[in-house]
Amino acid sequence: MHHRIHRQPSDRHRAFTLIELLVVIAIIALLTGILLPSLGKAREAARTLKCKINMRTIDFAMNLYREDNRGWGNEAKNYGARFDLNGVRFDTEDTYAYWGIFYDEYIDDALEVWEDPNFQLMDPYPYWGTDLDFIYETQRYQSYGINGLRTNDNDPRDPIAKYGLWRNAKKETVGRGGVIVIQNVSYLRPLSQLRRPNDMIVFQDAFEHQMETGNDALDGLTQYDSNYGGLENYWEEAYFRHNDNCHTMFADGHTEAFNRAQVTDDGDPDLRYYYSGDPDDLPDDNG
C-alpha cells in the first residue's frame, strides 16, 4: 500500500495584508518619534562639546602667546577679517585683522578651531555690501568675539583702566620715510594684573568680533535692534547659538553658559562686571 504525503501550501510568498503594513508603518513612526529628539539632543550635545573644546584650545594658545610676550596678550583689533577680498590671509599688522590671528601659530594654523559648529553669520564689517556667501566662507573662522571694553587714555583713576582686561602701552611703528612713530595701543594685560581672573570674560559666542559692551555684549544687547543692513535677524541668534545658551571663556580658563531667558532680549546690566572687572559694577546682591 502506498501512502501519499500531502504537503501544506507554502507561506513563503504570502503577501502582507494592508493592516499588517499599517501596523509596521505605525511602529516605525513611533520609533522615529522616540529616537529623533534623542538624536537631536545628542547632535547638539556634540556641537556644544566641540565649541567648548575650541574655546579651551584658544585659551591654551593665548597662554602660550603670553609666555612669549612677557605675559601680554594681543593688541586691540576692532575688526573681523582673516582674508582680503582675494582670499589672501591677513597678518597681525593688518588694519582689518581679526584678533585671533595673533594665536594661529600656536595651534598650527588650524582654522577649524575658530569655527563654532553652530556658526551662522558674524558682523560682516569691513565687507559690507559684499556677497553673503563670501562673508560666510571667510568669516566662519572667526566666530568668537573678544571682550573689547577698554579706555582710550592712561588715567589710572579710570576704573576700566584699573580693573579691565586691557591696558595701554607704547608701540613703535615705522612710518613714511622710515620715521619711527610712537603710538598708544591697548593690549590684553597679563593675568597677574587682573583683580579677579575668574570673573573676567575674555571671549564668547557673539555676533561682534570685539564687544565694547553697553549695546553689543550680554550686559546690553541693543546695537542691532534698528535697521542694520538686513542682518537684524542674525545677531541675537549668534549670541545664543547653542540651545539658547551663550558660551563664555573666562580669564582663569573656565567656561560658563548664559541662557537667553536669563539675559533677556535687552541684556542683563548685572553682567557688566564680567566685562569691566570694576567692583562698582558688581550686582547689588554680591556686595
pLDDT tens-digit series, residues 22-38: 777 777 777 776 666 66
Q: Which three cell numbers stand for residue 150?
A: 577698554
With 50 as the cut, is the pLDDT of residue 287 above it?
A: no
The closest of 272, 273, 239, 275 to 149, measured between CA atoms, is 275
Distances in Å between the alpha carbon of 37 and those of 12, 49, 216, 217, 243? 38, 18, 33, 32, 13
Classify residue 49: in a domain, yes or no. yes
CA–CA distances in Å: residue 272 to residues 158, 168, 204, 268: 16, 21, 14, 8
- Listed residue (80, 151, 176, 172) closest to 119, CA to CA: 80
In a domain, residue 45? The reply is yes
Average pLDDT of the residues in 117-145? 81
Report the 10 Å Cβ neighbour count for 230: 8
Q: Is residue 69 part of a domain?
A: yes
Q: Which residue has the cell 500500500?
A: 1
- Does the residue 2 lie in any domain? no
The answer to the question of residue 137 being in a domain is yes
CA–CA dist 222, 14 (Å, integer): 67
Residue 186 is assigned to a structural domain of this protein: yes
What is the enclosing helix (H) or strand (E) of 147? strand 144-147
Retrieve residue 136's grid coordinates.
Answer: 560666510
Give the residues across from 259 on adjacent strands.
Answer: 245
* 148 domain residue, yes or no: yes
State the total domains in the chain. Answer: 1
Distance, CA of 216 to CA of 206 (rounded, Å)? 9
Residue-level pLDDT at 181: 79
Q: For residue 155, which of 143, 170, 172, 167 has the smallest C-alpha distance?
A: 167
- % of the chain surpassing 70 pLDDT: 87
Which residue segment(s) compose the domain that 150 sits in?
A: 40-286
**Domain annotation covers residue 18:** no
The model's pLDDT over 160-202, given as tens digits with 9 standing for 90+, comes to: 999 999 998 888 777 777 778 788 889 999 999 999 999 999 9
What number is the average pLDDT over the span 126-143? 78
% of residues, the chain, pLDDT over 90: 47
